[in-house]
């Protein structure tokens, strides 16, 4: 085990600033850790050791030259493979983009590079972010560092597992309905979905444009805040990006104050369908907040019951259109139809899409194509948009009573690989608590509440705040994190089994 990889990003930042560690040392340590354990975890689809070390060397040179550097300069990071990285393969976990190397950087990636964070590589994900287990990756599943037979959540299981397995101190995930938060919950890490429009989507290969949002995957709330402030803020390349300063997330995380804060427990997100241990840890966490001076009330958001149904119309509709561009004409996979002498462009498109997309992607393209069809549009897509408005109103009314809302992040702890592959509905239900935030565009955070008694696996609490009040998540999250740490005596991940190179 390597000590450097056990540090938080904030600690590494301090060690780098004082000269205790160099960026090359920190990056090398993480590359070694990846080499040691990723054969088991499979968090990465592509590791860019050379590029990361070059970036680290540049930071060390700049520091030696006395240049003013970003607080996270020299702290390495892993990036979900759904963000375009110039010169680095970007597959979105799909066969159809195998070998595609983008000629440009996503804005998030450009900001990471500008701040001097060496990019370690690209992390595994469910194909085009469709899934809740990372089992729908065309390149094989990622395994949960807590139990290699279990899923790390999804779609961003690679990013959360990389952070949980100490392969990276920081990672970028994306969250369309829960691709950052439930993976954080089941891997014992922290994950934040910022306010929609708070982080640029330019270069994020769209699943559902109106729901997608990139955000931090970390092991501490402060680390998430530091990363959030690097990637957040207005981007003229994204029309839907909010033209306002990033909320004061780092200050809120440092203050970690819940005195007098009004916390609402969402009645509809809990109870039936939620694992007993998940509920128990959640309730204890809420009690800790009460003990720290928060006022807790129960609030009702009645339309949340329809969120999953609305989501599974809006998402596939947008996805069916967003994924149309993968047609073998300009980039990516090209498959010629068997037994056709001179295939037309349309035949090549069809053959390629048939071979290049996995079943879950095809399922959702078909769903979305159907929902948008003339004669069905009003009944499906149109109706779902109405539900979306009602859910946004539920949030507005709830936030008139309370400052933040809380719920368990995911209904269960990590399930076993393969358990839900043949049961899409059961898989979709993993995101039942996180989807409302995406539909309304409000920010959400998941942080660990402990391990459950029944299976010893991590569970998480979700905190939700009004749009552009992301700082509230960090205030509550950091306060709760400190209280839990006092209770446990050590970070939760210290209890995770030790991963060692197997068969290496």
**Among residues 139, 166, 202, 395, which is the contact residue for another protein, using CB under 8 A?**
202
With contacts defined by CB under 8 A, name the span among 67-75, 196-204, 267-275, 415-423 that binds another protein. 196-204
Q: At closest approach, how far in Å is the CB of 208 from another protein? A: 8
Nearer to another protein, 4 or 92 (CB): 92
Q: Which is closer to another protein, CB of 64 or CB of 340?
A: 340
Rounded CA-CA distance 310/391 in Å is 10
Question: Is 379 near another protein (CB under 8 A)?
Answer: no
- Rounded (5°) CA angle 304-322-206: 70
Residue 323: helix, strand or coil by DSSP? helix
Candidate list 377, 494, 497, 500; residue touching another protein; CB under 8 A:
377
Contact 497, 442 (CB under 8 A): no
By the rule CB under 8 A, 383 interacts with another protein: no
Contact with another protein (CB under 8 A): which of 201, 281, 303, 388? 201
Task: Work out the number of other CB atoms within 10 angstroms of the CB of residue 416.
Answer: 12
Q: How does DSSP assign 190-258, residue by residue?
A: EEEEPPTTSB--TTB--SSTTT--EEEEESSHHHHHHHHHHHBS--TT-TTS--SPPP-HHHHHHH---
Interaction residues for another protein, span 240-299 (CB under 8 A): 240
Q: Which of 347, 373, 397, 500 binds another protein (CB under 8 A)?
A: 373
Q: How far, in whole angstroms, is CA 26 from its chain's centroid?
A: 24
Catalytic residue among 179, 229, 241, 317: 179
Give Cα 350 to chain centroid, integer Å: 31
155 noted as active-site residue = yes
Which listed range, 200-208, 287-295, 303-311, 406-414, lies at the site for another protein (CB under 8 A)?
200-208
For helices 470-488 and 221-231, the axis angle rounded to 10 degrees is 160
Q: What angle do CA 440, 441, 444 make, to 5 degrees?
A: 105
Binding pattern for the stretch 288-327 against another protein, x by CB under 8 A and - elsewhere: -----------------------------xx-xx--xxxx
Q: Is 122 a catalytic residue?
A: no
Interacting residues with another protein between 84 and 113 (CB under 8 A): 84, 90, 92, 97, 100, 102-104, 106
151/148 Cα distance (integer angstroms): 8
CA 389 – CA 325 distance, rounded (Å): 29
What does the binding site for another protein look like in residue numbers (CB under 8 A)?
83-84, 90, 92, 97, 100, 102-104, 106, 201-206, 208-210, 236-240, 317-318, 320-321, 324-327, 329-331, 345-346, 349, 369, 372-374, 377, 381
């Amino acid at each position: 085990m390597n000590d450097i990889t056990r540090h938080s990003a904030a600690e590494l930042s301090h060690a780098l600033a004082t000269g205790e560690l160099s960026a090359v040392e920190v990056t090398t340590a993480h590359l070694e850790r990846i080499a040691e354990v990723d054969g088991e975890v499979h968090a990465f689809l592509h590791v860019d050791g050379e590029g990361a070390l070059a970036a680290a060397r540049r930071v060390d040179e700049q520091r030696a030259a006395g240049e003013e550097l970003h607080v996270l300069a020299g702290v390495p990071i892993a990036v979900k493979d759904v963000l375009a990285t110039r010169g680095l393969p970007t597959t979105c976990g799909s066969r159809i983009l195998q070998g595609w190397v983008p000629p440009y950087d996503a804005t998030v990636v450009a900001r990471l590079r500008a701040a001097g964070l060496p990019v370690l590589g690209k992390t595994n994900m469910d194909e085009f972010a469709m899934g809740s287990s990372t089992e729908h990756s065309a390149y094989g599943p990622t395994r949960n560092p807590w139990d290699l037979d279990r899923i790390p959540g999804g779609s961003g299981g690679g990013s959360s597992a990389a952070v949980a397995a100490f392969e990276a101190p920081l990672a970028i995930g994306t969250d369309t309905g829960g691709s950052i938060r439930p993976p954080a919950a089941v891997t014992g890490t922290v994950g934040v979905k910022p306010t929609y429009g708070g982080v640029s989507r330019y270069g994020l290969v769209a699943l559902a444009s109106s729901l997608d949002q990139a955000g931090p995957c970390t092991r501490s709330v402060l680390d998430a805040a530091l990363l959030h402030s690097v990637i957040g803020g207005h981007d003229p390349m994204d029309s839907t990006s909010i033209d306002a300063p990033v909320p004061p997330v780092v200050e809120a995380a440092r203050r970690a104050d819940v005195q007098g804060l009004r916390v609402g427990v969402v009645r509809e997100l809990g109870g039936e369908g939620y694992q007993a241990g998940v509920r128990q840890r959640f309730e204890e966490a809420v009690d800790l907040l009460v003990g720290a001076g928060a006022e807790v009330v129960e609030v009702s958001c009645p339309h949340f019951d329809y969120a999953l149904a609305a989501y599974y119309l809006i998402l596939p509709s947008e996805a069916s259109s967003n994924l149309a561009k993968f047609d073998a004409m300009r980039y990516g996979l090209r498959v010629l139809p068997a037994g056709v002498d001179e295939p037309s462009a349309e035949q090549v498109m069809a053959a390629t899409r048939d071979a290049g997309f996995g079943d879950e992607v095809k399922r959702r393209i078909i769903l979305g194509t159907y929902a948008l069809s003339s004669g069905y549009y009003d009944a499906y897509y149109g109706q779902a948009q109405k539900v979306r408005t009602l859910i946004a109103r539920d949030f507005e009314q709830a936030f008139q009573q309370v400052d933040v809302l809380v719920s368990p992040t995911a209904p269960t702890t990590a399930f076993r690989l393969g358990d839900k592959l043949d049961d899409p509905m059961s898989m979709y239900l993993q995101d039942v608590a996180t989807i409302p935030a995406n539909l309304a565009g409000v920010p959400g955070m998941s942080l660990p509440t402990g391990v459950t008694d029944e299976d010893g696996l991590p569970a998480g609490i979700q905190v939700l705040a009004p749009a552009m009040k992301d700082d509230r998540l960090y205030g509550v999250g950091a306060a709760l994190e400190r209280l839990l740490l006092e209770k446990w005596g050590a970070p939760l991940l210290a209890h995770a089994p030790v991963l060692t190179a197997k068969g290496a």
